Amino acid sequence: MKSRQDFFEILFKFWWVVLIIIGAVYFLTDIPIIKYILYVIGIFIALSIFLPFIIQFFAPAFVLTESLVEHFRQSKSMPFGKRYIFIPMSILSAISFSTAQMILSTWIFILAFITWAGLIGFFWTFFLSFFFGLAPLTILTAPFILWIKEGFAAFFGMGIFYLMTILWFFFLSLAYSDDYLTSEDYIGYSPHMFLLGALSFQVIALPFYHFNLYNIANYISDLGGFIFLILALIAAIKWRSIKRKLPIEDKENIYRPSFWIYILGFLFTNILYVIFQNFDAPTAVIFWLNGFFLFALIGRFFGIFRRNKKVETLIPLSLESYNDHVSDFKNLYNNGEYAEALSIIDQIIDSRYVNRNHYYYRAILYNKMKNNSKCLLDLKKAASLGHGKSSSILQKRGISF
């Protein structure tokens, strides 16, 4: 890390020397390999500057995908449909969501790059964007350059893609943020996950429409979209039946999308509808998604007045405090301080971050403390929430859960 900081300090201190050397090499030589080497160096420097931001940008979706993969590994004792259909399709949905984000981000950068290249040339656009890390400035100013060169209509057209990318970014931050955690108890049955998958496949189809690959685009848009819509409907029915059986305290811990997700979804699907119509592409999936966001908005609006006051039974534990509690629990357990460890795990289970693993850990702790009755209760609770190891232990003992 220090060597990297030293490198950038030298680079910015002697930027004018770098500019002269690279300009001289590029314009005074006609050897293609030299120019290609310069392009590779520029990409390397740009990645060094922006890679931390890129990783942070895509991190929430990657973490969710990793959680779903881990959930699949622990699902051996789960029903066939959940193990082999719902959880794998949830993983595919998370991957498609990241892919759509990558497509939109790359698309606006290419549009911005082409706009500036038309003004100052390919080399200087590449040089300033990559070597000097001015890619964000290139992206922000490109629509206004296009406005000056080609008029408001061109500016508006590029602005639509910028708006789509911004909306998608907010989808990501709202859907996967720590404030709106999807309860691990219900991962694999989440209708919200499948709706985002259906929406993602519409975005993935856009480049294929743009390059006139209509057959491929139609398969991606229609087949992918309808499959995820059907799964969302089945998941919604399943979720409803699960939630009816839960106590009020557990219901409050289930993922509840932000009101803003429905607003953004409604706006985004309207924009997609207009773009698909321009391509003469089928819009059935977008129509259903748009209708869902509209009715969800109406339902949430009236639900504000009907919803009961939230039950304040959960410990208001912050994410940082939760991580500290987990670390403290592990240390106390490893040191054999079981009573203190039990106090910590009780607080975690009474917080909004509780999941099936915590009941399993407490069951192990009760086993160490020779409290077999409470150990069995926690094993049954963990197994009922889909914890594979707890299910295996109970099955070996012939105990139903």
pLDDT at 304 over 60: no
Tokens of 191: 């209708």
* Residues 299-321, mean pLDDT to the nearest whole number: 58
pLDDT at 181: 38
Beta bridge partners of 173: none
- For all residues of the chain together, what is the average pLDDT? 76
Model confidence at 270, pLDDT cuts 50, 70, 90, reads very high
Tokens 């889909």 correspond to what residue?
Answer: 386
pTM score: 0.64
Cα–Cα distances (Å) from 238 to 25, 80, 329, in that order, read 65, 15, 34
pLDDT at 312 over 50: no
Model confidence at 226, pLDDT cuts 50, 70, 90, reads very high
What's the chain's length in residues? 401
CB 218 within 8 A of CB 279: no
> Exposure string (b/e) for 128-145, b if CB count within 10 Å is 16 or more?
bbbbbbbbeebbeebbeb
Tokens of 237: 């029915």
Query: pLDDT digits over 55-113, tens only?
Result: 666 666 676 677 677 767 777 777 787 778 888 888 888 888 888 888 888 888 888 88
Query: pLDDT digits over 148-207, tens only?
Result: 888 888 888 888 888 888 888 777 655 554 433 344 444 445 677 788 889 999 999 999
pLDDT at 17 over 70: no
Q: Which long-range contacts (CB under 8 A, 24 or more apart) does 51-59 make?
A: 57/101, 57/105, 57/169, 58/98, 58/101, 58/102
Query: pLDDT digits over 231-247, tens only?
Result: 888 888 877 776 666 55
Q: Report the share of the chain in percent with pLDDT over 90.
A: 9
- If one compares 43 and 340, the residue with the highest pLDDT of the two is 340
Q: What are phi and psi of 368, to 5 degrees?
A: -65, -30
Mean pLDDT lowest among 64-68, 125-129, 262-266: 64-68
CB 367 within 8 A of CB 375: yes
Q: DSSP secondary structure string, 131-152?
A: IS--HHHHHHHHHHHHHHHH-H
Query: pLDDT digits over 353-377, tens only?
Result: 777 888 888 998 898 888 888 888 8
Question: HSE of 266 in the Cβ direction (CA atoms, 13 Å)?
Answer: 12
182: left (phi over 0), alpha (psi -120 to 50) or beta: beta
Burial class (CB in 10 A: 0-12, 13-18, 19+), 20: exposed
Domains along the chain with CATH numbers: 49-294 (no CATH), 319-396 (1.25.40.10)
User: How far is residue 93's CA from residue 146's CA, in Å, rounded to a whole number?
Assistant: 35
